[in-house]
Structure 1
Amino acid sequence: MRTLLNLIWLVFSGLWLAIGYALAGIICCVLIITIPFGIASFRIAMYTLWPFGYTVARRRDAGAGSAIGNVIWVIVAGWWLALGHLFTGIALCITIIGIPFGIANFKLIPISLLPLGREIVPSGDPRTFGAA
């Protein structure tokens, strides 16, 4: 079932959103000082391609550096990536069949805004308890 959901997701929104994350990653890597953000963007692009069967968990070892980095991320790329998820989610929710995919888009907004201090893990992983 996850494979079918991932394939439908890929066609209707996953590919385009992953391209947005890849562009953000390229821009961040060109700016040199933001290379860690570029790496995070590429990691999220892979998650955006195949989201079903994975979830986001909070990293317990993340500290003040992640918080500062998240502020910079929101300014550099996070806001427009979150808008992409919002608009795609709204467009998918217009149809009955697209509602689960629209909800999946809405669930991707928090990681698109604040990706540092989070990790992508398989669903059911023990690290997902208390995730958000």
Structure 2
Amino acid sequence: MSPLSLLLNIAWILFGGLWMAAGWVLAAVIMAITIIGLPWARAAFNIAAYTLLPFGQRAVPRDALTNRSDIGTGPLGFLGNLIWLVFAGWWLALGHLITAILLAVTIIGIPFAWAHLKLAGLALWPIGKEIVPA
């Protein structure tokens, strides 16, 4: 991680990253408790770590990364994302959106607002994504 990414990640945690990462962990724990939600819990834990330290990383479609389709990038992944969207994705995306709006009001918060908007999109459709260094 570059020094700039480290500095931005520290500021990110102070400006809303910590509470949104906690929201992702809460969603993951709820999904894991239900047992049937374990596939979604794994994705939510991965994105919680990404939400905590987003600078210097990015989310990419797994099939674009590996050049092959798998269960998360095919029709079952689509169905999984649809179920995720209905039960958890919309409220996580809403949390990121509200935080982005609050941060965008200030000049210094605009880069963080932009990162929250990217995470809001990921919150809606997380299955089949991989977090990689930028």
Residue 97 of structure 1 aligns to a residue whose secondary structure is coil
1:46 pairs with 2:49: yes
Structure 2's unaligned 5+ residue stretches are: 64-68
Match of 1:63 in 2: 74
The 2-side partners of 1:24 and 1:116 are apart by: 14
Mapping for residues 77-116 of structure 1, pairs under 5 Å: 77-116=88-127
Structure 1 residue 28: Cα displacement: 0.3
Match of 1:3 in 2: 6
Match of 2:39 in 1: 36
Amino acid paired to 2:13: L
Match of 1:12 in 2: 15
Q: TM-score, normalised by structure 1?
A: 0.91
Give me the CA root mean square deviation. Answer: 0.6
Structure 1's unaligned 5+ residue stretches are: 124-132
Structure 1 residue 10: Cα displacement: 0.6
Number of residue pairs matched?
A: 123
Structure 1 residue 75: Cα displacement: 1.2
The 1-side partners of 2:121 and 2:102 are apart by: 19
Residue 121 of structure 1 aligns to a residue whose secondary structure is strand
Q: TM-score, normalised by structure 2?
A: 0.90
Match of 1:117 in 2: 128
Query: Sequence identity, in percent?
Result: 50
Residue 95 of structure 1 aligns to a residue whose secondary structure is coil
